[in-house]
């Protein structure tokens, strides 16, 4: 009887661990280890509910990512995504960061107004531009274009549209800038 109880407890613990792993993988991007788009949207919606605070939303896009893929292959592109994701994660470790598309990342800075957020992202842009990324044993420079949006009394969908438009402007202005 005691042995049977012990076995059932172990079995239940293993199942709970498996469930936890499945939940975690449902919210993570398998390549970068960052949160995924789904988690990001859920988090942002919770952040908005019932709070009247200013937040900064940023969309970051790796400049000329297609060239990285063309030069180093998809494995090199994956290496670039992992390294950029790691740099973003370490720089914005106190904030929610997600990979929301191919070479696109999103970050919310809660309770940080747009102009202060711009300072954070301008510093990050410079840091990334000066960083030596190692792709297929070659050192390369990678830059990012960043679009920002004020995120307070608006829907996430609207804030994402504004940030996406700003990102497009950054790309139109020659890339490697914050708009």
Which CATH number is 43's domain given?
A: 3.30.70.270
Instruction: State whether 3 and 41 are in the same domain.
Output: no
Distance CA 160, CA 32 (A): 21
**DSSP label at residue 58:** E
Instruction: Name residues whose C-beta falls within 8 Å of residue 132's C-beta, 6 or more positions apart in sequence.
Output: 139, 140, 141
Residues 119 and 139 grouped into a single domain = yes
From the list 73, 62, 55, 51, the residue with the least C-alpha distance to 160 is: 55
Residue 105, domain member (yes or no):
yes
What is the span of the domain harbouring residue 23? Answer: 1-27
Q: Are residues 10 and 47 in the same domain?
A: no
Is the same domain home to 13 and 78? no
Token pair of 147, please?
């679009």
Interval 64-111: pLDDT, tens = 999 999 999 999 999 999 999 999 999 999 999 999 999 999 999 999
Q: Which residues are catalytic?
A: 103
CA distance linking residue 102 with residue 168, whole number of Å: 16
**CA atoms of 19 and 178, how far apart (whole Å):** 40
Query: Which DSSP letter does residue 65 get?
Result: H
Within this chain, do residues 23 and 45 fall inside the same structural domain, yes or no? no
59 with 99, same domain: the answer is yes
Mean of the per-residue pLDDT values of the chain? 91
pTM of the model: 0.86
DSSP symbol at 167: H
Same domain, yes or no: 17 and 89: no
């Amino acid at each position: 009887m005691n042995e049977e109880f012990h076995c059932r407890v172990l079995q239940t613990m293993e199942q709970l661990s498996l469930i936890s792993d499945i939940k975690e993988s449902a919210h993570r991007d398998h390549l970068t280890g960052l949160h995924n788009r789904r988690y990001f949207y859920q988090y942002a919606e919770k952040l908005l509910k019932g709070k009247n605070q200013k937040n900064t939303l940023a969309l970051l896009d790796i400049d000329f990512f297609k060239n990285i893929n063309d030069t180093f292959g998809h494995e090199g592109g994956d290496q670039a995504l992992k390294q950029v994701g790691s740099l973003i994660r370490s720089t914005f470790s106190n904030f929610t960061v997600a990979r929301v598309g191919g070479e696109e990342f999103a970050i919310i800075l809660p309770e940080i107004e747009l102009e202060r957020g711009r300072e954070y992202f301008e510093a990050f842009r410079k840091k990334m531009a000066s960083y030596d990324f190692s792709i297929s044993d070659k050192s390369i420079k990678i830059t990012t274009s960043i679009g920002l949006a004020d995120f307070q009394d608006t829907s996430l969908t609207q804030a994402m549209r504004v940030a996406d438009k700003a990102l497009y402007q950054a790309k139109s202005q020659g890339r490697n800038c914050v708009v």
